[in-house]
Amino acid sequence: MNEKITEGMLVRRRFCKRLLFLAVAFVISFYASLLLFGKGPQVMRLTDLSQCPACYGVSVCPELYSSQIALDTSHWTSVFNVKNVYYGYTKSNRRIVLKKLASDSELKEFDNEFCKTWGLKSNCKPVDLLNAVNIDEKILSIVQYNFTWPDLEPRHGLIVCPYAYSVYDAIRPILNNKKSNYKSEMLNIWTMLSINPEPIILQIIPKSYGWPVPAYGGVCGRLEVVAHEGEPLSQMMHVDWYTKLKYAQKILNAAMDFTFKHERFRFYLMDWSLDNIVANEKDEITFVDLEDVIILDKHISPKKDLPEWYERYSREVLGSGFTFSIENICKSHLSDHNLWAACYTLAGSENPLLYPIPKEVDTSRPHLDRLLHMCLYGDNRFGTMSKLQHVIDEMLTDNKLFKSR
């Protein structure tokens, strides 16, 4: 009996020693990483400049080199970061976000494939891409592929429709148009289309023109720099309902802007998650993840393959949750997708921003709930949106309704 007790005690001691050893090893490795990287990787180590021109560009590199931008080393993501999203400050103390726009595994996969994609030697270097030909055709093929329903490989985010060639008109305003830089710039465009097109979108519809997107700082290698615009609405569900109504007002306005504001294109966002919409201290909202966007050219001359082009497409019921048809959206010059998506964000089945509606509000404004329901399930979403915007605007100016404020 005593031998069994002694043996059990020894097993427990060994287990405790191993547990203690693992804990100590973790602590040592943790602090070693802090010492090695200076509490996180330095900004230039994030850029992967050696991969250019298979990168996003070099527009913000001078600011990084001259220490105009520094990482926030107090943030946990400076050490452990799966999403490759980092935080920092400019020299003027403005908060910024630095994104690599893909995970390490995705970037590695891209690097393993680009030599084959361009028909170069298997051990080619990124600089060898400057000798590549048919860059325009490669860009066109990516956009065309994204518009199909790929079975074997996922699409890469940006869709330009109904005809892929409109991508050239979309990107023209963001090119320097200098002959010496054209090939390098187009390789940057190809890389962003292959990995994440967000920097392209942020330049086509810039914050400076009133679009609800992050202010674009530029790119360096494979690092994008944008302004920090606030906290995700998914983390703001505790705020009072009046503030939520202000968010709702701006979300509906954004839906109309993305649909109508640009003189040439419509921008249909495919991800309206509350994680990807942020709010600042002024209750302004910003859409911060623009990887998945449909750009529709509303000024094309339709061919015979678009018999319903001049008709409005109204989203049909495709099932529960956030579902939609890219193919149907691209068959018409105008879709109500953004309107429905905005209403789903406010009143859908997944963590709706405006529900539950306070009892006193529902009693005095019963038509709010009715209009939200009509926006989700009705057949005249454009007419409903106009009424819904009017009702919310009126509610926000009614001091009696929110007399406690």
DSSP 3-state of 312: strand
Q: In the predicted model, is pLDDT for residue 272 greater than 90? A: yes
Contact 372, 343 (CB under 8 A): yes
Over residues 51-101, the pLDDT tens digits come to 999 999 999 999 998 889 989 877 544 444 668 999 999 999 999 999 999
Over residues 357-371, the pLDDT tens digits come to 999 999 999 999 999
Q: Are residues 172 and 83 in the same domain?
A: yes
Q: What is the pLDDT of residue 79?
A: 47
Tokens 């890219």 -> residue:
326
Could you tell me if residue 401 is inside a domain? no
What are phi and psi for residue 102, nearest 5 degrees? Answer: -170, 160
Residues with Cβ within 8 Å of 216's Cβ and at least 6 positions away in sequence, in order, are 199, 202, 203, 206, 207, 225, 226
Last residue of some domain: 175, 207, 228? 228
Last residue of some domain: 228, 257, 290? 228
Mean pLDDT value across residues 7-17 = 46
Q: Are residues 146 and 270 in the same domain?
A: no
Q: Are residues 183 and 322 in the same domain?
A: no
Could you tell me if residue 402 is inside a domain? no
Q: Are residues 71 and 185 in the same domain?
A: yes
- How many domains is the chain built from? 3
Could you tell me if residue 88 is inside a domain? yes
Q: Which residues span the domain enclosing 4?
A: 1-37
pTM: 0.86
Q: What is the chain's alpha carbon radius of gyration, rounded to the nearest angstrom?
A: 25
Q: Are residues 84 and 127 in the same domain?
A: yes
Q: Are residues 71 and 100 in the same domain?
A: yes
Last residue of some domain: 184, 211, 228? 228
